[in-house]
Amino acid sequence: MRYLPLTDADRKAMLAKIGVSTTDALFATVPHDKLLGGLLDLPKGKSELAVERSMGRLAAQNTPAASVPFFVGAGAYKHHVPASVDHLIQRSEFLTSYTPYQPEIAQGTLQYLFEFQSQVGLLTGMEVANASMYDGSTAAAEAVLMAHRLSKRRRAVLGGNLHPHYRETIATISRMAGDEILAAPPAPAGSEELAQLIDDKVSCVVVQSPDFYGHLHDLSTLAERAHAVGALLIAVFTEVVSLGALEPPGAMGADIVVGEGQSIGNALSFGGPYVGLFATRQKYLRQMPGRLCGETVDQEGRRGFVLTLSTREQHIRREKATSNICTNSGLCVLAFTIHMSLLGEAGLRRLAHLNHANAVALAELLVKVPGVELLNEAFFNEFTIRVPGKAADVIESLAAKGVLGGVPASRLEPDRAELADLIVVAATEVNTDEDRAAYASALREVLEC
Amino acid sequence: MLNRQGRPTMPAETVASVSDTFSGNRALAIEEDLIFEIGRVDTTGVDVEQPPSFTARLGKLARRAPLGLPGLSEPETMRHYVRLSQKNYGIDTGLFPLGSCTMKHNPRLNERMARLPGFGDIHPLQPLSTVPGAIALIAELARWLRELTGMAVVAMTPKAGAHGELCGMMAIKAALAARRENRSVVLVPESAHGTNPATAALLGYRVVSVPARADGTVDVDEIRKRLSADVAAIMLTNPNTCGLFERDVIAIAEAVHAAGAYFYADGANFNAIVGKVRPGDLGVDAMHINLHKTFSTPHGGGGPGAGPVALSAALAPFVPLPYTVVNADGIAYVEHAGRPAQTLAGRPTASARHGANPERNGDAGNAGGSAPQAERAAAGAMPLGRMCAFHGQMGMYVRAYAYMLSHGSDGMRQASEDAVLNANYVRSALADVMSAPFGDQLCMHEALFDDRRLEGTGITTLDFAKAMIDEGYHPMTIYFPLVVHGAVLIEPTESESKESLDRFIASLRKLATAARGGELARFREAPRFAPRRRLDETKAAREPRLRWTAAQERQEAAE
């Protein structure tokens, strides 16, 4: 087996040194009748070439985003990632290192975590950011738990246009932890009615902008309303590129900002691994979940970085920890940080501008297709269209014509008949004029027949 | 008794620099500033096309404030991050015996597979009809995990070990709720990972500790004493964090089940027993599997991980959404509770069919299936819902599956045997110079020592670990498990050759002798040759500086 360096001669010599005669003697404490005598009912090992063949066949059954005109978003976005990003994250010293518990030989990891936290703070307009969560949805769930700890209340109000998977992720942990959620119904036309749900029993209000249907929201009024009753405003985004073009949630009164960072540096990869961004105000620092990297000095007085404030964390505090989270998204953080360093402010703003331009161009093209209605006034790189008939069928027909045209809202909200004719459409820098024209003409054909 | 002495967090004293270069660089070890100090807001390493002019539709929300994000050209970026990488120690650098973390080799084939466009460049919400190979891979990986664990179903979506724990404990809580029972206690041995009590507490459980026996294993009588109708579950790591197999595991499972509670197993140490013994055969009801440990997906400096959870038949109805069901027609994918599963046109592939028993797959389902759904309805149980958006850690599934195909049933069994052999080889070779807390007994995949041999030397476990850095090794896990004073937990994994282990053993023996011989400076000043000397963790915590600020702002803040 190519990954196992020991030879049979080694094994024999080592067993002798240990003072046992067989390998199974090392497993003597395992109940004898439970020890497996032979191999399990699974295939035997394969050569690298054979594995490539086998997995290549599986991969070939899927339609990659880059192979077709591609407009699928709704929480994960197809962006161009510079070649240097993937090269750098595959450096052995990054790829095969562990959580930086020995900071003297992990300054590489620690310094990029510090750079990442700084970048996320600047993007969101918040004072402190952690070293990442698993993804946007779990970051949102952790934000709700944090708000409960801070407010000592246990009811969260969720905006109707919060990504349905985020809502469900929050709902799962809330139900299991015995907390309450009040989720407003979806408002695909854009106007969420949340004010009447907010009272002094409420711990936090969770709203997304750009929201699931692509609408943009000024969160200031909602923040004031929440603060007036002692509740926190949790702002969510799923498209981090939008922060290059839009006012940051921190400037609109958000207390906690969470979002998905996949768009920068990370592949679509069918939904994971991604990178959850989590930022808050300095005054809430001690209730933050997840790892934090901080600056300090070494014995010679040189600047260095360490994981810090770990008295919040499970490996120190055990049952009194702020979260049970242990892992973060280290390598996805690195990809994010490198891509963001390449972009810089100038590049990010241009990228955001191009995304918005492509979305506007696409929307203008699609509304010309008979029967198609655009639901958005203001939007960034994603919007919602209403089509005659079932959106899911339209999307399947488009796929059959080689266009991946978006996400039918019914894929995520199957129980809401009123959403059955809606498609959430995303446009990014990867789309060309030809892609947009292909989409419009395929949609015209699908709707005509 | 849990020992809370922890590790020292502040260096003993400031020491003189051994560097006398003008730049602070030391040949290949080059100092590197932050991107905020070398980048500029008007520089970019990405050429973005300028779109034709258009009317923006951002309403009143167009960004007004500048971001202040520095940019770097591509050559600057390469140099910056390559230099940072050179300050890191990875498995490819050398032996990385971090106990309980399973730092085994990361095959590069797995990286290549994860980057195939058919896996890496597919969207989680594109039509299922365009991703049958992805669903087949998830179903197939689940089948391998079912077979390896001997359990009924596998919940694939949890994103890391701790997330898997949360999922497994939620399934237990949901199963109890379906029985109309509201139990409030979870038993956790003192040697457990911190995530165990943290997870139980997150779900509102009261954590009751179970002490260890003098031999490092859990005492079944101590468990029996604490079991009652109010106990929901025990969370037990097996092999445990002392590197020992819980020999009374069958009796523990029986006692727990007799009390109407569930047996949660922390799968962190699964690497010791893959293909040797199946948790399902030991009475386990739920066990998370760290794909980044046992199945070698890269640790990546602290993630991403993946933590699928194997569930027993009793917990199968409480598998979270989404899940796959393999039946005679192909693979069905269930994304919503109470709705018919969507069966994909794609049949299982050749590799998926290999060795499969469709009947058994059809009955047990991968994760749920029609039978468990029926049970769920009958019990009036609430479905667990979603643990996260989308389908979990696909990129990690691909890597783990490539690992499994490469190893096969024979290679995985051999890997576990070699992991245990390597750990015992190290343990027996150090037995006379280091002190084993639980006597001279065989271990599983990791060897535990304490700091009694350092008593009176003025050298701590931390000093010893830092001296290992100077010798070119990543230190082992230290001060964990908490049940042992000054713990040293060594997990060499199966990836080490005998020659590598012999060199490692020789280094450790020399260090142990030096420590006994009173060579204080070698330890207390260590590391001397790393990119940094010891760092002041106390200062970092007392004056948290968690992001970059301009020197001027810092000055103002100080005044």
Give chain B's mean pLDDT.
90
**Which residues from B are below 8 Å from A254, CB to CB?**
none
Q: What average pLDDT does the segment A369-380 reach? A: 98
Q: What average pLDDT does the segment B103-110 reach? A: 98
Question: Which class in CATH covers the domain with range A67-80+345-448?
Answer: alpha beta
pLDDT of residue B212: 87
B417 to chain A, any CB pair closer than 8 A? The answer is yes
Distance, in Å, from the CA atom of B462 to the CA atom of B465, rounded to the nearest integer, reads: 5
Of B65-74, B372-381, B450-459, the poorest mean pLDDT is in: B372-381
Min Cα–Cα distance to chain B from A234, Å: 18
Name residues 3-32 of chain B within 8 A of A (Cβ).
6, 11, 13-17, 19, 24, 32
The encoded tokens of residue A319 equal: 């049952």
Task: Indicate the pairing of strand B262-266 with strand B153-155.
Answer: unpaired
pLDDT of residue B19: 56
Confidence of residue B18 (pLDDT cuts 50, 70, 90): low
B332 bridge partner residues = B325, B343
Instruction: Say whether pLDDT at B395 is over 50.
Output: yes
φ, ψ of residue A225 to 5 degrees: the values are -60, -45
Q: Provide the whole-model pTM.
A: 0.95
Confidence of residue B4 (pLDDT cuts 50, 70, 90): low
Instruction: Say whether pLDDT at A66 is over 90.
Output: yes
Instruction: Say whether pLDDT at B364 is over 90.
Output: no
Instruction: Say whether pLDDT at B187 is over 70.
Output: yes
pLDDT of residue B12: 62
Min Cα–Cα distance to chain B from A261, Å: 13
Of A188-192, A297-301, B424-428, B468-472, the poorest mean pLDDT is in: A188-192
Confidence of residue A193 (pLDDT cuts 50, 70, 90): confident
pLDDT of residue B558: 61
Q: Which site among B17, B40, B41, B69 would you substitute to test the A interface, given the most A Cβ atoms closer than 10 Å to its Cβ? A: B69
Domain A83-338 has CATH 3.40.640.10: yes
Confidence of residue B376 (pLDDT cuts 50, 70, 90): very low
Q: Which site among B218, B405, B414 would you substitute to test the A interface, given the most A Cβ atoms closer than 10 Å to its Cβ? A: B405
Interior angle at CA B73, CA B68 and CA B77, nearest 5: 90
CATH 3.40.640.10 domain range(s) in chain A = 83-338
pLDDT of residue B13: 63
CB contact under 8 A, A272 and B87: no
B263 bridge partner residues = B234
Q: Which site among B505, B538, B547, B549 would you substitute to test the A interface, given the most A Cβ atoms closer than 10 Å to its Cβ? A: B547
Q: What average pLDDT does the segment A217-238 reach? A: 97
Name residues 425-454 of chain B within 8 A of A (Cβ).
425, 428-429, 442, 444
Instruction: Say whether pLDDT at B544 is over 60.
Output: yes
Instruction: Give me the total of CB pairs closer than 8 Å, taking one residue from chain A and one from chain B.
Output: 746
Instruction: Say whether pLDDT at B276 is over 50.
Output: yes
Give chain A's mean pLDDT.
96
Residues B137/B279, Cβ–Cβ less than 8 Å: no
Q: Which site among B288, B388, B406 would you substitute to test the A interface, given the most A Cβ atoms closer than 10 Å to its Cβ? A: B388
pLDDT of residue B15: 65
CATH 3.90.1150.10 domain range(s) in chain A = 67-80+345-448
Instruction: Say whether pLDDT at B365 is over 60.
Output: no
Q: How far is CA A18 from CA B241, B417, B418, B442, in A?
A: 21, 14, 13, 9
Min Cα–Cα distance to chain A from B373, Å: 18
Of A303-312, A314-323, B25-34, B318-327, the poorest mean pLDDT is in: A314-323
Residues A399/A321, Cβ–Cβ less than 8 Å: no
The DSSP annotation for A371-382 comes to T-EE--SSBSSE
CB atoms within 10 A of CB A216: 23
Distance, in Å, from the CA atom of B208 to the CA atom of B221, rounded to the nearest integer, reads: 15
pLDDT of residue B354: 35
Instruction: Say whether pLDDT at B16 is over 70.
Output: no
Instruction: Say whether pLDDT at A273 is over 60.
Output: yes
CB contact under 8 A, A97 and B301: yes
Instruction: Say whether pLDDT at B375 is over 60.
Output: no
The encoded tokens of residue A431 equal: 């789309």
Say which residues have a Cβ less than 8 Å from residue A114's Cβ, sequence separation at least 6.
Answer: A293, A294, A295, A305, B34, B546, B547, B548
B146 to chain A, any CB pair closer than 8 A? The answer is no
B107 to chain A, any CB pair closer than 8 A? The answer is yes
CB contact under 8 A, A115 and B96: no
**Which residues from B are below 8 Å from A18, CB to CB?**
421, 424-425, 428, 442
Nearest to B130 among A15, A123, A399 (CB): A399
Say which residues have a Cβ less than 8 Å from residue A351's Cβ, sequence separation at least 6.
Answer: A241, A244, A343, A429, B46, B48
Instruction: Say whether pLDDT at B366 is over 60.
Output: no
Min Cα–Cα distance to chain A from B205, Å: 9
Q: What average pLDDT does the segment A36-50 reach? A: 97
Distance, in Å, from the CA atom of B239 to the CA atom of B250, rounded to the nearest integer, reads: 13
pLDDT of residue A287: 94
Instruction: Say whether pLDDT at B463 is over 50.
Output: yes
Q: Which residue has the higher pLDDT, A358 or A195?
A: A358
Instruction: Say whether pLDDT at B5 is over 60.
Output: no
Percentage above 90 pLDDT, chain A = 95
The encoded tokens of residue A256 equal: 């906690």
Confidence of residue A112 (pLDDT cuts 50, 70, 90): very high
**Which residues from B are below 8 Å from A433, CB to CB?**
none
Confidence of residue B518 (pLDDT cuts 50, 70, 90): very high
